[in-house]
């Protein structure tokens, strides 16, 4: 069997880039058969840009404030992704709502990570919302991106128990450790050709993924 060439990824960030570092590490170790072709932030002060440059990765800022519309900003993003021959886009704390201009161009090749057990708590302040609701579990979901905010088909979820005395910060600290495990794993499934999106939903190895995603680590094949 011919070994697949490393896939070319783009990682889009807005802040510190903790999930970006997980991708850098997974690529370096061989756990992820991919190279990060470019890191792009909408925030010129994003610490993740420095992480990328220190790792020898092309890193640039496209400041959304310089554009008259979301569509114009997304068009500029697309131009850079195409120039870097990107095959898969990883949203890692990218705090911009993408338009159909962008999503349609990378349909089925666009992953996001969201710090809740989707479909619970799309949007912001997820950990506090889980605490306020009295949930006994919280967690994180990797999902395909579609036009519905945080509404694309889930790929994989990881769960943590909510402990007595938890705050949003303490819960987030436990969840983020799992983010760093499951996000590169989902990307590896994609670059292996195992993970796909079609009109019926997300599929792994030709089998439809449940509506709440594959449960990590219990159901990981």
Residues with catalytic annotation? Answer: 114
CB atoms within 10 A of CB 63: 12
C-alpha 95: how far from its chain's center? 12
DSSP string, 163-177: PTT--HHHHHHHHHH
End-to-end Cα distance, the chain: 21
Give the three-class secondary structure for 162.
coil
Give backbone dihedrals phi and psi of 216, rounded to 5 degrees, phi first.
-95, 135
């Amino acid at each position: 069997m011919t070994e697949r060439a490393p896939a070319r990824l783009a990682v889009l960030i807005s802040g510190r880039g903790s999930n970006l570092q997980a991708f850098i590490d997974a690529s370096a170790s061989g756990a992820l058969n991919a190279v990060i072709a470019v890191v792009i932030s909408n925030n010129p002060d994003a610490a993740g840009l420095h992480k990328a440059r220190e790792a020898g990765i092309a890193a640039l800022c496209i400041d959304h404030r310089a554009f008259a519309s979301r569509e114009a900003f997304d068009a500029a993003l697309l131009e850079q992704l195409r120039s870097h021959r990107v095959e898969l886009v990883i949203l890692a704390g990218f705090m911009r709502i993408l338009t159909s201009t962008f999503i349609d161009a990378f349909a089925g090749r666009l992953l996001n990570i969201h710090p809740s057990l989707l479909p619970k708590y799309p949007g912001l302040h997820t950990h506090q919302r889980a605490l306020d609701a009295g949930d006994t579990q919280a967690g994180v979901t990797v999902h395909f991106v579609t036009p519905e905010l945080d509404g694309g088909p889930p790929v994989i979820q990881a769960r943590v128990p909510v402990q007595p005395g938890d705050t949003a910060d303490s819960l987030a600290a436990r969840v983020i450790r799992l983010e760093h495990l499951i996000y590169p794993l989902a990307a590896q499934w994609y670059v292996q050709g195992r993970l796909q999106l079609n009109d019926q939903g997300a599929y792994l190895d030709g089998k439809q993924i449940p509506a709440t995603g594959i449960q990590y680590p219990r159901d990981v094949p």
